[in-house]
Amino acid sequence: MRNTCLNEIHRLAKDNENIIFIGSDLGAGTLTNMQQELPDQFIMEGISEQHIIGMSAGLAMEGFIPYVNSIAPFLTRRCYEQVLVDLCLHDLPVRLVGNGGGVVYAPLGPTHLAVEDIAIFRVIPNMTIIAPCDAEEMKRLVEKTISWPHPIYIRLAKGGDKVISNSKHGFEIGKAILLRPQGQCMFITTGVMTQKAIEASEQLEREGVHCGVLHVHTVKPLDYDALSKLIPTVRAIVTVEEHVRAGGLGSAVLEYCSDLMPEHVSKIARIGIPDKFSDKYGSQDSLLDYWGITTGSIKNKMLDMLGNCN
Amino acid sequence: MIDKRSKELRKIVVDIIATERRGHLGPAMSSIDILRVLYDDFLNYRADDPNWNKRDRFILSKGHGCLSLYAVLADKGFFPEKDLLTFCKSESIFGGHPERSKIPGIEASTGALGHGLPIGVGMALAAKIRHENHRVVVLVGDGEINEGSVWEAALSAAKHNLSNLTLFIDYNKLQSYGLNSEILNLEPLADKWKSFGFAVEEVDGHNIEELQALVKKIPLENDSPAVVICHTVKGKGFYFAEGKTEWHHKSKITDDQLNEMYQCLC
């Protein structure tokens, strides 16, 4: 997914001299071909995220479209004020590409996890937050970022994720995709949790439960149209995210319902990461297993909700 | 020592302060003579076309010093001086810190410190990439350069050989709580900037002729960014405020204090 994203940026930059790539001491060899081919559109800065965000704001004020790439926690937490003031207050078209969204960097410990990134960015006006589910969707997304007039945070997954998106669904920033039609219930997901939700819905199907999957690649702005249309049609909803339960996709859905469809709030349950620092290493999968974010637990949560909502 | 023009600009600041009886007087008075010379003798701009593409970019990174910039921009015709009398009122475009989206001539919304130089580096880099000739000037406070982001940006400016970028430091030696030397010592300041790859000059930031001579020398070097350390006095021009922390930001300013300010400008 990361390679697809960066290669797409390179490809698009060939035809658009306003596109400029800025890295923060990335891994050796990253986009070397772009550096050689388009040296004025490739900048490798040091480990200085606060400066890099400000610099990208200055470039955007002059008409450039900067794509800034670093490890997600450092591109969100380390330079939070710069993102808020320099990018979002000025409402500039800077794209933040965060490697390792969620718990991709599980073996590196809590300093390298990005599990609150959606929450802290969701509260900033003008920010757009997108978590694609696979490389194919990433390709469709990057193309759309060129003309989006606001700051964007792109949350990258591990890579090699099973391709579940389909070009027939197209891709519009802010438009959720119904990957499986809603039945009596529906998962609402973002990023690579969509894969888990699809597996869970397939298991439910085998047990006679028709369950939809709404893939919300854009957490902000949230697709209110899709939510208002679909939520009333199902008996139970489980949101699934690789993010702390507070402030992420589940919270956004509940806030929307609380404000505009309060009668549906009780049918919604959230699955996410508990409110504590990770005390395990291992892998992305093992950490998610540890926290109970598995296909089985997602499926069982839905069955519980259906039982409770009878 | 303060000439007629500098007194007139200071009077505009006092007029603004009088509206709400509040404002950052000290930091505005330490920077106002620098701004006067920048706008009188150095920067290219069109007050009637603030977004003119070939303008020089000026960023007031120490946004709390905005009263002096408001005064200079009004004096130059970016907006009517009378509009400044709405300062800090609900519908005003003039707040306690300047905003790009509201005020003609403001390049960046500042107030949170340490943001101006990174943005200026981006602007200067953009001009360099496009082979454009306009220049970028950033004014920071001395307390502001406590911020690590300033030094991150300094490293980057030198790396990119941004000779089109000049940083002015309003070195009044006094930050909010007390002396720089006691809060966080900056010395040897010139040597620090030299070691970061900047061409360095030092001037008396209230000596108009010295400032005018200095700006004529910019760019100081052809392949490196420059810094001008301006030795200034916080609250300059108002004897009761000079070097006084309590006049960094003052509210509930009394009639007597206002009268005293105007007396200082006679």
Cα A88 to the center of its chain, rounded Å: 18
pLDDT number for residue A182: 86
In chain A, the percentage of residues whose pLDDT exceeds 70 is 99
User: Domains, chain A, ranges and CATH?
Assistant: 2-155 (3.40.50.970), 167-308 (3.40.50.920)
CB atoms within 10 A of CB B133: 10
Token pair 């200079």 is at which residue? B72
Give the span between the Cα atoms of B79 and B25, in whole angstroms.
21
ipTM for this model: 0.97
> Which pLDDT value is given to residue B88?
94
> Which residue stretches of chain B have pLDDT < 50?
none
Query: Is the predicted pLDDT of residue A310 greater than 90, yes or no?
Result: no
What is chain A's alpha carbon radius of gyration, rounded to the nearest angstrom? Answer: 19
Q: Which two tokens stand for residue A182?
A: 């809603």
How far apart CA A65 and CA A44 sit, in angstroms, is 16
CB of A97 closer than 8 Å to CB of A136: no
Closest CA to B211 of B202, B220, B219: B202
Sheet containing A42-45: which strands, arranged edge to edge? A42-45, A19-24, A65-71, A95-99, A152-155, A128-130, A218-220
Q: Is A64 on the interface with B (CB under 8 A)?
A: yes
- Length of chain A as a residue count: 310
* Cβ–Cβ under 8 Å, residues A236 and A264: no
Q: How many CB atoms lie within 10 A of CB A28?
A: 6
Cβ separation of B122 and A53 shorter than 8 Å? no
Q: How far is CA A120 from CA A158, A173, B165, in A?
A: 21, 20, 33
Could you tell me which residues of chain B have a Cβ less than 8 Å from any Cβ in chain A? 99-101, 107-109, 111-112, 114-115, 117-127, 129-130, 148-149, 152-153, 155-156
Peptide bond into A221 cis (omega under 30): yes
Chain B neighbors of A24, CB-CB under 8 A: none
Residue with tokens 């105007």: B262
Residue B104's domain comprises 4-264
Closest CB to A51 among B99, B123, B149: B149
Tell whether the model's pLDDT for residue A213 goes beyond 80: yes
pLDDT digits (tens, 9 = 90+) for A287-296: 999 999 999 9
Q: Amino acid letter at B151?
A: W
Question: At A270, which helix (H) or strand (E)?
Answer: strand A268-273
Beta-carbon separation of B118 and A58 below 8 A: yes
Q: Which of A112-121, A138-147, B8-17, B246-255 has the lowest mean pLDDT?
A: B246-255
* pLDDT of amino acid B1: 81
User: Among all residues of chain B, which has the CA nearest to that of A59?
Assistant: B122
Q: Tokens representing A255?
A: 């806030």
Exposed (0-12), middle (13-18) or buried (19+): which is B256, by Cβ within 10 Å? exposed
The arithmetic mean of pLDDT across residues A264-268, rounded, is 97
The amino acid at A70 = S
Structure confidence by residue, pLDDT tens digits, A222-265? 999 999 999 999 999 999 999 999 999 999 999 999 999 999 99
Q: Which residue of A has its CA nearest to B53?
A: A62
**Two tokens, residue B221:** 């070097």
Choose the closest CB to A86 out of B101, B115, B124: B115
**Is A159 an 8 Å CB contact of chain B?**
no
CATH of the domain at B99: 3.40.50.970
Residue A240, beta-bridge partner list: A189, A271
Using an 8 Å CB-CB cutoff, list chain B residues near A57. 108, 118-119, 122
Pick from A62, A64, A89 the residue to mutate for testing the B interface (most B CBs within 10 Å). A62
Task: Tell me which chain B residues have a C-beta less than 8 angstroms from the C-beta of A59.
Answer: 122-123, 125-126
Judge: A51–B112 Cβ closer than 8 Å, yes or no.
no
The answer to whether the Cα torsion of B117, B214, B178, B15 is positive or negative is negative
User: Tens digits of per-residue pLDDT, A9-55?
Assistant: 999 999 999 999 999 999 999 999 999 999 999 999 999 999 999 99
What whole-number distance in Å separates Cα of residue B196 and Cα of residue B162?
13
Instruction: Compute the C-alpha angle A199/A200/A201, nearest 5°.
Output: 90
pLDDT, tens digit, 9 for 90 and up, residues A158-201: 889 999 999 999 999 999 999 999 899 999 999 999 999 999 99
Provide the CA B2 distance to its chain's centre, in angstroms.
Answer: 18
Count of domains for chain B? 1
Q: Flag if B119 and A51 touch (Cβ within 8 Å).
A: no
Query: Is the predicted pLDDT of residue A309 greater than 80, yes or no?
Result: no
Evaluate whether B67 touches B23 at the Cβ level (below 8 Å).
yes
Average per-residue pLDDT for chain A: 96
Task: Collect all residues of chain B within an 8 Å Cβ-Cβ radius of residue A90.
Answer: 100-101, 108-109
3-state secondary structure B70-129: HHHHHHHCCCCHHHHHHCCCCCCCCCCCCCCCCCCCCCCCCCCCCCHHHHHHHHHHHHHH
pTM of the model as a whole = 0.97
Classify residue A27 by its DSSP letter: P
User: Is A82 an interface residue toward B (CB < 8 Å)?
Assistant: yes
pLDDT at A221 over 70: yes
